[in-house]
Amino acid sequence: MPPKKAYQCSLLPGGPAVVTERMPAVRTASLGIWIAAGSRHETRDQEGMAHFWEHMAFKGTASRTARQIALELDLLGGLADAYTSREHTCFTIRVAADHLPKAWDILADIALAPCLSPEETAREKDVILQEIGMVEDTPDDKLLESLWEAAWDDRATGHPITGPAETVAAYVEAGLWAWRAANYRPGSMVVAAAGAVDHAALADMVAQAFAGLPPVPAACPATLPVPAFRPGSLGLTRDVEQTHVAMGFPVPGNADEGRFARAALCTILGGNMSSRLFQEVREKRGLAYAVSSDVNALADAGLLEIHAAVDPGRVEELLNVVRRELAAMAAGGVTRQELEHVREHLRGLLHLGAESTENRMVRLAKNHLLFGRHVPLSETAGKIARLSLDEIGQAAAAILDPSRSVLGILGPHVEPSWLQGAAS
């Protein structure tokens, strides 16, 4: 009998794709239901609905109360989670392999058949309003959220995932169901699993769960407009001890082939302890406890973001140091030593992540949603190994352009001169 394939994919008629990766050495499995609908798929009066439905999944179904859902998940010893992004909503669980059928039953129930009782709906609105308040009270979260919103001329792309408080408070049941009917379509979903998983058995369970749903007409996938970047600056005054500074530079999205060069650039700039910004800002000058750079990207657009928090009296010094490092990298690229270091760093992260069933499951689902195919670890490792000085240098010159950036500063006071160096 031939050995089972590690990766398998089944496209269920009128239903989701089922993608699995078998990991023979493990005794657990990670499972996820991914819906290709997030905050980017909302009109102005729907903002926050994707996130609201993620919350309501745990508040009861036709067959389970909210408490029963919590008890059953706890009895499995499983680690359940859910999140909403700008492009996806995801429900996941990690369990011992023999608990996978029960885990699927619970996950499918909450993701596909939630209820909207008036009491739970009103209560969860209050919970989300508190969540929105937490962001307002967390300086770095508030600044980065505001920076992202300011960067795009498309409100669907830029608005907060939670939605504004006034919109959440005004939700009505009919509007919530209408958004869900338009976006929770079986053909736009992916069921992914990795670990000790039997593909055929899972595909059968998925088919049975979706067969019990009311028929949904197929819909042509909507083509979202690529958002246009808006350079500029913003200042937010808050009663805080430190001043938070963030910069954003537009980058192509995750579907673009240059993503590996951008990941390398971001890592060398501020992605780890040996990065240029960490060494210059923290180690040499003690300007900040933490300074970092990250790529925050959608399928078709994103930002390379830099963030640090400093004493209000040293903001100008921080800005000068960061701008000097950005100019040096844009003009001179990176060194051979930095190239070799970042290759090994990214390769190490790739293989460390491959030890986790959860990381493998997420990788399966994201690659299927983004590329419509499986991307083997060897393919990604090969692209990392082939990164060149020219690729990273070209990325630096194209991205780190001060005339195409957005600058945000949040602190007890914001001097106009701090914002003058930003694009306008």
Listing DSSP states for 318-334 in one string gives HHHHHHHHHHHHHHH--
Query: Could you write out the DSSP letters of every residue in 357-395?
Result: HHHHHHHHHHHHHHHSS---HHHHHHHHHT--HHHHHHH
Among candidates 203, 266, 204, 272, which has minimal Cα distance to 18?
Answer: 203
Tell me which H or E stretch contains 296. Answer: strand 288-297
Instruction: Output DSSP code: residue 76.
Output: T
> Which of 251, 205, 403 lies closest to 323, judged by CA?
403
- Are 243 and 313 in contact, with CB atoms under 8 Å apart? no
> What are the backbone angles phi and psi of residue 67, rounded to the nearest 5°?
-70, -40
Tokens 């050995």 sit at which residue?
Answer: 3
Q: Which residues of 170-209 are buried (b: 16+ CB within 10 A; e: fewer)?
A: ebeeeebeebbeebbbbbbbbbbbbbbbbbeebbebbeeb
User: How far is Cα 40 from Cα 48, in angstroms, rounded to an integer?
Assistant: 10
* Residue whose pair of structure tokens reads 């949603």 in the numeric block: 369
Characterize the bridge pairing of strands 17-22 and 89-96. unpaired
Annotated active-site residue 54? The verdict is: yes
Report how far apart, in Å, the C-alpha atoms of 13 and of each of 211, 217, 409 are: 10, 12, 51
CA-atom Rg of the chain in angstroms? 23
Sequence-distant (≥ 6) Cβ neighbours of residue 293 within 8 angstroms? 266, 269, 270, 271, 275, 277, 304, 305, 306, 307
Handedness of CA 342, 344, 350, 353 (dihedral sign): negative
Alpha-carbon span 111 to 45, nearest angstrom: 23
Which residue shows structure tokens 């200042």? 235
Which member of 21, 42, 47, 54 is catalytic?
54
DSSP 297-315: E-SSEEEEEEEEEE-GGGH
Residues taking part in catalysis = 54
